[in-house]
Amino acid sequence: MATKPNSLVAQQFGLTSFAELLFETSDAIGETDGSFETFHEHLLQSLVPMTAHERVIAENIITVEWEISQLKRAMRASVRRGVEQDIRHHIIHIHQAAYNAEIGKLRKEHQPASDQSFDFNPILGDQFKVPYEFDPMPAKTEAEDLIQRLYSKKPEIKKCAHDDLSVTFKHAEDILADQYKSSEVFQTHSDHIATLEERRRDLKKDYDRLQQFRPIEAIAKEACG
């Protein structure tokens, strides 16, 4: 039975450290859509099956390995989308709070001017008219700018973006931890990957055992045939 992960490991996301959380990582062989043939070719060359039986098991190993790589890719994408959404929500919340504070200030200034001690009149209703509605576009623009800088190829821009993120929101590790704890998609992918990795280990053991005890004569015969 597959064991559920009980700790946060950067390698589960294809990262060497959490500092790379929002950075674009290079695709591994086969992680680009439609490149199964390339993936298959490289793994088959590394497994070097010498008999028909070995070829069957090797094909099974490659299929499982491909599915693991695609699930990890999907899991990283899901986590990144969740992190980006957290950043957007946070920045919009900051702008909304500033807007509410400004409207509250204007409301207080309105009370003395209208000689009212409160804003709501049971007969006339609310006497304060909000001068303008909250506009989320500046917040969305700021969030997208921060996210793009987090993906920048320039190290100095990435560092500044991470510094801005940790000052205005929280550290990348904390955002990732939130995604790890709350994302059902992540847990589903993670459980499936653990099951496939166990299947891969079993296949590899069978393959190694088969190679270890294969008859030399049969290998020579198949090679010549």
Query: Given a cut of 90, is residue 101 above it in pLDDT?
Result: yes
pLDDT category, 218, cuts 50, 70, 90?
A: low
**What's the token pair of residue 48?**
């070097």
pLDDT in tens, 118-155: 555 554 445 678 889 999 999 999 999 998 998 888 88
Q: Please give the single-letter amino acid code of residue 95.
A: H
- Could you tell me how far CA 25 lies from the centroid of its own chain? 11
Q: Identify which of 182, 153, 158, 168 has the alpha carbon closest to the alpha carbon of residue 88.
A: 168
CA distance 126 to 105: 16
Angle at 21 between CA 17 and CA 25, to 5 degrees: 90
Summary mean pLDDT of the chain: 77
Length of the chain, in residues: 225
26 half-sphere exposure, CB direction, 13 A CA radius: 2
CA distance 80 to 88: 12
121 lies in some domain: no
Domain count, the chain: 1
180 lies in some domain: yes
Query: Given a cut of 70, is residue 161 above it in pLDDT?
Result: yes
E strands of 56-135, at which residues?
A: 120-121, 125-126
Residue 73's domain comprises 49-103+137-224
CA distance 194 to 2: 6
CA distance 35 to 115: 73
Query: Given a cut of 90, is residue 172 above it in pLDDT?
Result: no
90 lies in some domain: yes
27 lies in some domain: no
2 lies in some domain: no
- Could you tell me how far CA 87 lies from the centroid of its own chain? 13
Residue 33: its pLDDT value, please? 55
Q: What is the mean pLDDT of residues 52-57?
A: 91
**What's the token pair of residue 3?**
């064991």
19 lies in some domain: no
Q: Give the range with max mean pLDDT: 6-10, 65-69, 114-118.
A: 65-69
pLDDT category, 4, cuts 50, 70, 90?
A: very low
Residue 138: its pLDDT value, please? 95
Query: Given a cut of 90, is residue 205 above it in pLDDT?
Result: yes
Residue predicted with more confidence, 14 or 159: 159
**What's the token pair of residue 60?**
């099974």
Contact 161, 150 (CB under 8 A): yes
Percentage, residues of the chain above pLDDT 70: 72
pLDDT category, 171, cuts 50, 70, 90?
A: confident
**Which range (136-145, 166-175, 214-223) has the least confidence?**
214-223
Percentage, residues of the chain above pLDDT 90: 30
219 lies in some domain: yes
76 lies in some domain: yes
Contact 151, 162 (CB under 8 A): no
Q: Which residues contact 187 (CB under 8 A, 6 or more apart)?
A: none
